[in-house]
Structure 1
Amino acid sequence: MASEVTGKTYDWGLLKRVMSYATPYKSKFFWSVLLTLSIAAIAPVRPFLIQITLDKFIFFNDASGLLQMVLLMIVLLLFQTVIQYFQTFLTNSLGQSVIKDLRMDVFNHITKLRLKYFDKTPIGQLITRTVSDLETIADIFSEGLISIIGDSLTVLAIIGVMLYQDWRLTLIILIPMPFLMVATYVFKEAIKVAFQEVRTQISLINTFLQEHISGVTIIQYFAREDQEFKKFNHINELHRDAHIRSNWYYSIFFPVVEIISALSIGLLVWYGSKSILNNQVSPGVVVAFIMYVNLLFTPIRQLADKFNTLQMGMVGADRIFKVLDTKEQTLNAGKLKPINLKGEIAFKNVWFSYKQTDEMPNDDEWILKDISFEVKEGETLALVGATGAGKSSTINILNRFYEISKGEVSIDGINISDLELNFLRSQIATVLQDVFLFSDTIQNNISLNNPDITLEEIIAAAKDVGAHEFIMQLPGGYQYDVQERGATLSVGQAQLISFIRALVYNPKILVLDEATSSVDTETEELIQRAIEKLMTGRTSIVIAHRLSTIQNADRIIVLEKGEMMEMGTHQELLKLNGYYKKLYDLQFSSGGINKEV
C-alpha cells in the first residue's frame, strides 16, 4: 500500500484548530510559554558568568570573588533546573489535557456515525486515529510548538549576546551556518516522508491485529496460523523498514551537525587565539564563545527534530479532524417524544439501497423494492426469505441505521425522521442472533451502565425469562465478568442475557433476529419461553430462519430479492401454495428438517 500522505507541511488553519482545544487550559499555556521564555533568557547567562570569572577573578587570583561567582552559578543552575522542571511538567500536562478532550470528542463522534461508515472503514484504522495519532498531537505541545518557540528564542538570545560581545568572533562562528541550514532542510524533508510511512504502517498493523485477533477462532479452525503469520511478518517487516529509514536519516544528520559544530569551534579557536595574542579579546571571551557555540548548535540540532514532531502532530491532527469532519452521522432533526407511544409500525412504498448517493441506484442495487406493510399495536410480524432477501435491512431502516431512498416509515403515524433519534431507538429493543457482550459484569451488560436500571429490576427480569438460576450459579452471580464478547458463557446463556437487557429497557417495539438456531434443544425451549414473555403486549418483528418458530405470528411476509412475494398468516400462506409453501416443504420434508432459510 502506498504511503498515506495527509495534510500540508504547516497548515496554520489546522494548527489554529488544534490550539482551540487548549483554550480551556489558558493558564497552563501561559505559564508554559512564560517559563520557556525564561529558559531562553537564562541560556546565555552561564557562559557570560564564566567569562567574568576567568577575566576578573581567576586571572587576578581573587579567591573571594571566585567563590562568590561559583555560588552564583550554583544558584543559577538550581533556578534553571526548577524552571525546566515546571516547564516540562506543564507542557506535558497541557498536551495530555488537550488529547483527553479531543479523544472524548472523537469517541463521541465515532459512536454516532452511521453503520455504513463502519462498513467501509477498518476498525483498526479508527483505533489508530483514537490512540496513536492523538498522541502525536500531545507532542505538539510537549515537544513541538512551545519547544520550537523556546529553541528559536534561545538561538536569537545567544547570537545577540555574541554580537554584543564581539561581532568578529560571532561572524567566524557563523561561517559554517549555511551548510547547517542546507543539511537541516534536507533532513526535514526526508524525515517527513519517513514519518508518514511509519504512521501508515502502524495503521496497517493495528488493522491487521484487530481483525485477526477477533477472528482467531476461524484461523485456528482452518489451520491458517502459519499463513497468517507470514502475512503479519511481511507487514511487520515493512513497519521495521520504515522505522529504520527514519533512524538512518537521524544517524546521518546528527553527525553532520557535530562536524559543522566542530568546524565552528575550530575556526573560533584559531581566530580567538590570534586575537588573544594581539590583545584584541580576553581569554574569558574565547572560552565563553566556545560555550556559546555548544549552546547555539544544540537547539539548532533539536529544531529540525522538533519541526518534524510538530509536522507529525499536524499529520495526526489532519487525520483525526477528517474523522471528526465526517458527515456520516444520522441526521437528528426530529423533536417528537410521544408519551403514550403504542408501537404501530407502517412501511409505505419503501425503497432502499446501500448506495446512498444523489443518483438513483440501478435495478440490481436495490435492497428493498416498494415494500408496504403495517403492524398494529401488540401484533407480531414475521419476515422470512433467503439470505440477502432484505430482512435485516428492514430492521436497520426501522432503527434509522440507514436512510431509505424513497417512501415512508412511520410509528403511530409519525414519520420516524420526526422522532428524536435517541427516543426512537430507546423504544425499539433489538435482540440479534449474534449477541455482543462487553468485557464487564453481567449486571453492566444488562443495564449498559444505565444508573436508572436497578439490580432489583434486573433480577426480576432475569426471573421472568428464566435466567436467574444459571446466573446465580456463576461465581459472583450478577457481578460475574463475562470476558470479551461473552467468551466464558455458552451461546444460549449469552442469548438469555440479551433478552434480559431488552426486557429491563421495557421497549414498545421488539425486534428479534431468530435466536434459537445455534443452541441445544433444552436451551431452545428456555429461550422460546423467554421470547414469549418478551413479546407479550409488545409490537414485534421477527426475522425467522426456522418457520416452526413463527407459525403463530399475526402476519408473515415472504421476501425475495427485496420484493414482497407473499403476505398472510401461516395457514393462509400454505394454502397459496407459493414461495412460503416451498420454504415450508423444504424445511419439513424428510431430507430438509430444521434447515434454515
Structure 2
Amino acid sequence: MSTGRKLLNYALQYKKTLIIALVMLTAAVAAELTGPFIAKKMIDDHILGIERTWYETDETSNAVSYNGSWYTRTDYLESSEEKQDPIRILQVDREYFFIPEQIEFDGERSFNDGSMIIKRGEEETSYAATPLSTEELVQFYEPGIRGLIQLISIYFGLLVVASLFHYGQSYYLQVTSNRIIQKMRQDVFEHIQRLPVKYFDNLPAGKVVARVTNDTEAIRELYVAVLATFFTSAIYITGIYVALFLLDVKMALICMTILPLLVVWMIVYRKYASTYNHKIRSLVSDLNGMINESIQGMTIIQAFRRQKESKAEFEAINESHFHFQNKLLNLNSLLSHNLVGLLRNITFVALIWYFGGASIGVGSIVSLGVLYAFVDYLNRLFQPITGIVNQLAQLEQARVASERVFELLNVEGTPVNEERLPRYQGNVTFENVWFGYKEGEYVLKNINFEAKQGETIALIGHTGSGKSSIMNLLFRFYDIEEGKISIDGKSIMEMPRQAVRQHMGIVLQDPFLFTGTIASNVSLENEHISREEIEKALKDVGAETLLKHLPKGFDEPVIEKGSTLSSGQRQLISFARALAFNPAILILDEATASIDTETEAIIQDALEVLKKGRTTFIIAHRLSTIKNADQILVLDRGEIVERGNHNELMKEKGKYYQMYELQKGKQNSLAM
C-alpha cells in the first residue's frame, strides 16, 4: 500500500469531521466567490446602468422628472408598459449629457457647442446634448440606489457568512488533524512495544524517538496546513474557473493553461526536494541519536575529557544538515514566488492582449463590470496557487516523514495476545539448541540441559560464552535456529511470546527504573498487585533497611532510571519487582555483580526467600554466590563444557575449579 493511501486511511478514520470541515470550506468559498459577480452587477446595472436607454413614461416609483417629463430606464419598465420616446444619458470625461433621442451606435465620444459627436471607425454622427447638473444627475441615479444598497448588504453579508464558515472549517480541520496524529503516535508507540528485541540491536534509541516525535509532527503539519491549503486551493480554483467560464469562455480557456504548468512545476519540484528531504530527515535522526547517546554517556565524556571530540562529531552532522537545508532553501526560492509572479504577469499580459483591442462600455465586446470581475477572479486565482507553491516544501517533508514512520510500522511485530496460561511448574528443557545473532555465526552450539521445578541453575563462563543468550532464548526475545526449548514439556515456540513470559521474572545487573515512585516501579502499575503485596515484597527482600530513611518511604519519587538512588537500592527494588509478580521461573542476570558486600549480604538473604518454589537461573561472575546451586553449567564459546554441583566440579579440577581458585586467590590477596 502506498504512503498516500496509508495517510488517507488514517484521515478516513475521522471522515465525519473531515466532511463537515470540507462542506463548510465549500460554503465559505462559494460565498466569497459570489462577491465579484455582485460587484459586476453593481457596476453594470447601477453605476454604468445610467447609460442604458430611458423611455418617456407616466409618473411611477422608478421614474425621473426632467424638464417637465417623466423617464424610466428600460430595465425598470414593466413588461406590459409601452416603450415610447427613447432618450440616452451619456458620459464624456467627468460630465453627463442628456440626449433626447436614441443613438445609432456607440464609440468615441466628444462634446462641442451643444452637440454630442460619436465616432466609430469611419462612421460619425452628431446629436443635440444638454449637460446635466449635479442635482439632475443624482435624480437619474436615485432609482438604482435602493438596489445598490441591497447588493452591498448582500456582499457584506456573504463576507460575514464566509468568515464564520472559514472559522468552522479551520477549527474542525485542525481538531481532526490533531486526532489523526494522536492516533498515529499511539499506533507507532504500541507497535514499538510489539517489535522484537533484535530490531533495536542496530537502531539507536534516538532514531526511534525521532520517528515518534519529529516525523509525526511533520505529518501533523501535512494535515493541519498542507491538507487545508490544498483542499481550499482546489475548491477556490474550481470555483474561480467556473466563474471565468461564465464570464468569457475563450479567455477562461486561455487561463486553463496555468494548470498543466502547475502540475509540471510540482513534478519537477518533488523530484529534487524528495532527495534533499530524505537526507535532512535522516540527519535529524542522526542528531537525535547522537544527542541521546551523549546525554546517556555524559559521565564518561566528561571523565575522559571527550567534550571537544563530541562537539566536533556533532558539528560535522550539524554542518551536513545545514548544507542540505540550504540546497532545499535554494530550490524553494527558485520555484516559489518567482515563478508565481511570472505566471501572474503572463496571464495579465494575455488579458490585456485579449480585451485591449476594443473599447470598454455599452455596446462594446465586454462591459466594465465584466472586466472588473475578470481581473478580480484572476487576482483571486493566484492566491491559492501561491498557497499550493508555498506548501510544496511542507508537503515533501511530510511525505518523507510519512515514509519513515510507515517503514517502522511495516516492521513485523508480535501480535498482542491476551491468552493466560496456568502457572508453570517450572520444568525447563533445552534440547540440541543452536542459535546465532547473525546468520551462520553461532553463539550457542548444541546446548542440552534440564532444570527441574524448584532447582537453581547457575550459568558461568567468560564474557561472550553465551550465558545471557540462553536467557534471551528462554524469554523468546530471540528465536532458536535449531533444537527445542520446552517448559513443562511444551515447546515455547508453540506459545505466544507474551504468554511465555507471563510466569517468568528477571533481575538484571543494571536494573531499569521508570519515572514514578518506588512502589509504582515494583508493581509496574499492574492492577492485580495490591499495595500490601508491594510493601510485603519490598520488606521480604530487605529493601526496608535501605529505603526507610527516604522522606516519603516507598512513595519516594523516582526520576529517570533512578539516578538519585544507589545501585544497591535500585537492585533491591528490582528484586522486589520480581517477587511481587510471583514468577514460576526466575532469572538473575549478574544481579549481584555491582553491589557492595553489605548490600550483597542483604540480597543473599532475600534470594533464599525469592527462590523458594521457583526454578531459578543465575548468571554470575562471583562464583561464591552460586556454591549452593543445584546445577552449575560452565560455558565456553557457546558450548557447555562442564556441568554438576559445586562439590562435583571442584573434584573434576577443570575450568570451574580454575576459575573458583583464581577468584578465591584474588579475594585472599585483597584481604591481606
TM over 0.5: yes
Q: Secondary structure at the match of 2:195?
A: coil
Of the three residues 324, 328, 349, the one matched with 2:432 is: 349
Corresponding residue for residue 406 of structure 1: 482
Indicate conservation of the 8 Å contact 1:384/1:557, yes or no.
yes
Instruction: Show the counterpart of 1:501.
Output: 577
Provide the C-alpha distance between the structure 2 equivalents of 1:155 and 1:386, rounded to a whole number of angstroms. 72
Amino acid at match of 2:180: V
Deviation string 1:408-455 (CA, Å, 9 cap, x unpaired) is: 111111212233432321211100001111122212111111111122
Q: Deviations over 1:99-154 (max 9, x none)?
A: 22222222222112211111122222222222222233334433345643442232
Is the 1:36–1:146 Cα contact (8 Å) retained in structure 2? no
Indicate the residue corresponding to 2:380 in structure 1.
295
Query: Map of 1:132-281 to 2, 5 A cutoff?
Result: 132-145=214-227, 147-170=229-252, 183-252=265-334, 253-269=336-352, 272=355, 275-277=358-360, 279-281=364-366
How far apart, in 1, do the equivalents of 2:644 and 2:200 lie? 36
CA-CA distance at 1:503 after TM superposition: 0.7
Structure 1 or 2: larger strand share? 2
> Within the alignment, does 1:47 sit opposite 2:36 as a pair?
yes
TM (norm. structure 1) is 0.89
* Deviation of the 1:182 alpha carbon: 5.2
Pair 1:175–1:318, CA change in 2 (3 A): closer
More helix by share: 1
Q: Which residue of 1 aligns with 2:20?
A: 31
Whole-Å Cα distance in 2 between the matches of residues 538 and 121 of structure 1?
Answer: 35
What root-mean-square deviation, in Å, do the aligned CA atoms of Structure 1 and Structure 2 show?
2.7
Aligned to 1:454, which of 530, 533, 547? 530
8 Å Cα contact 1:587/1:594 also seen in 2: no
Measured in 2, the distance between the counterparts of 1:15 and 1:185 equals: 16
What are the superposed Cα offsets for residues 61-97 of structure 1, whole Å, 9 maximum, x if unpaired?
5544443333222211111111111212222222222
Residues 439 and 482, structure 1, Cα contact 8 Å, conserved in 2: yes
Q: Secondary structure at the match of 1:42?
A: helix
CA distance in 1, matches of 2:442, 2:591: 27
Give the Cα–Cα distance (whole angstroms) in 2 for the partners of residues 180 and 325 of structure 1.
Answer: 34
Larger Rg: 2
- Aligned match of 2:371 in 268, 272, 286? 286
Q: Residues 505 and 180 from structure 1, CA distance in 2 versus in 1: closer, same or farther, beyond 3 angstroms?
A: closer
Inter-CA distance 198–219: structure 2 relative to 1 (3 Å threshold):
same
Report if aligned partners of 1:180, 1:260 keep a CA contact under 8 Å in 2: no
Pair 1:85 & 2:170 matched:
no
For the structure 1 residues 41 and 188, does the alpha-carbon distance in structure 2 shift closer, same or farther, using more than 3 Å as the test?
A: farther
* C-alpha contact 1:336 1:418 (8 A) present in aligned 2: no
CA-CA distance at 1:305 after TM superposition: 4.2
Is this contact kept in 2: 1:376–1:539, CA < 8 A? yes
Looking at structure 2, the residues matched to 69 and 592 of structure 1 have their Cα atoms a distance apart, in angstroms, of: 105
The answer to which of 38-47 and 230-239 deviates more is 38-47
CA distance in 2 between partners of 1:369 and 1:507 (Å): 28
Asked whether 1:321 is paired with 2:406, we answer yes
AA in 1 matched with 2:374: F
- Of residues 17, 20, 27, the one that matches 2:9 is 20
For residue 640 of structure 2, give the secondary structure of its aligned residue in structure 1: strand
CA offsets 1:254-293 (integer angstroms, 9 cap, x no match): 1331233134335535654654447332222222222211
CA distance in structure 2 between the aligned counterparts of 1:109 and 1:488, rounded to whole angstroms: 31
- How far off its partner does 1:482 sit? 1.4
2:433–2:480 Cα contact (<8 Å) kept: yes
- Matched to 2:381, the amino acid is L
Equivalent AA in structure 2 for residue 346 of structure 1: T
> Following TM superposition, by how much is the alpha carbon of 1:577 offset from its aligned partner in structure 2, in angstroms?
0.9
Contact (CA 8 Å) 1:546, 1:594: kept in 2 or not? no
CA offsets 1:340-382 (integer angstroms, 9 cap, x no match): x2111111121111125xxxx2xxx211111111111111111
What TM-score, normalized by structure 2, do the two folds share? Answer: 0.80
Structure 2 unmatched ranges of 5 or more: 51-140
Q: Which amino acid aligns with 2:387?
A: Q
Among candidates 470, 473, 480, match of residue 556 of structure 2: 480
- Report the Cα distance in structure 2 between the residues aligned to 1:421 and 1:180, rounded to whole angstroms: 53
Q: Which residue of 2 aligns with 1:8?
A: none
> CA, structure 1 residues 188+116, in 2 after alignment: closer, same or farther (shift >3 Å)?
closer
Note if contact 2:633-2:643 (Cα within 8 Å) is conserved in structure 1.
Answer: yes
User: Which residue of the other structure, out of 337, 355, 359, is the alignment partner of 2:421?
Assistant: 337
User: Which amino acid is 2:323 matched to?
Assistant: D
Q: 2: distance between equivalents of 1:243 and 1:114?
A: 35
2:186 is aligned with 1:104: yes
The answer on whether the counterparts of 1:587 and 1:593 sit within 8 Å (CA) in structure 2 is: no
CA contact (8 A) 2:287 2:317 kept: yes
Pick aligned residue for 2:639 from 563, 567, 570:
563
Q: How far 1:492 moved relative to its partner?
A: 0.5
Q: Is 1:515 the counterpart of 2:600 in the alignment?
A: no
Preserved contact between residue 551 and residue 570 of structure 1 (Cα < 8 Å): yes
Q: Which stretch shifts more, 528-537 or 541-550?
A: 528-537
> Relative to 1, partners in 2 of residues 1:241 and 1:276: Cα closer, same or farther, differing over 3 Å?
farther
Counterpart in 2 of 1:418?
494
Distance, in Å, in 1 between the alignment partners of 2:303 and 2:457 is 37
Letter in 2 for 1:386: H
Alignment of 1:110-129 (within 5 A): 110-129=192-211
Provide the residue aligned with 2:455 in structure 1: 379
In structure 1, the partner of 2:539 is 463
Contact 1:43 1:158 in 2 (8 A): no
Structure 1 residue ranges without an equivalent (≥5):
1-11
Percent of aligned pairs with the same amino acid? 38
How many residue pairs get aligned? The number is 575
Does residue 1:68 correspond to 2:150, yes or no? yes
Matched, 1:551 2:551: no
Contact 2:33–2:240 (8 Å) recurs in 1:
yes
| Higher alpha-carbon deviation: 317-326 or 294-303 | 317-326
Distance 2:492 2:263 in 1: 63
Task: Call closer, same or farther: CA 1:259–1:561 in 2, change over 3 Å.
Answer: same
- CA gap 1:192/1:332 in 2 versus in 1, 3 angstroms: closer
Describe the shift of the 1:412–1:173 C-alpha distance in structure 2 as closer, same or farther (beyond 3 A).
closer
Aligned residue for 2:603?
527
Deviates more, 1:227-236 or 1:278-287: 278-287
In the superposition, relative to structure 1, how do residues 39 and 395 fare at CA in structure 2: closer, same or farther (>3 Å)? Answer: same
Counterpart position of 1:370: 446
Change (3 A) 1:334 1:471: closer
8 Å CA contact 1:128, 1:202 repeated in 2: yes
Q: Which whole-Å deviations, capped at 9, do the CAs of 1:199-234 have from their partners, x for residues lacking one?
A: 222222122222222222221121111111111112
- The answer on whether the counterparts of 1:14 and 1:317 sit within 8 Å (CA) in structure 2 is yes
| Counterparts in 2 of 1:322 and 1:478: CA distance versus 1, 3 Å | same
In structure 2, the residue matched to 1:5 is none
The answer to whether the Cα contact below 8 Å between 1:128 and 1:206 also exists between their aligned partners in 2 is yes
- Cα shift readout 1:464-515 (whole Å, capped 9, x = no counterpart): 1111243342233233221111111110100010011001000111110122
Deviation (angstroms), 1:183: 4.7
Q: 1:558 touches 1:580 (CA, 8 Å); kept in 2?
A: yes
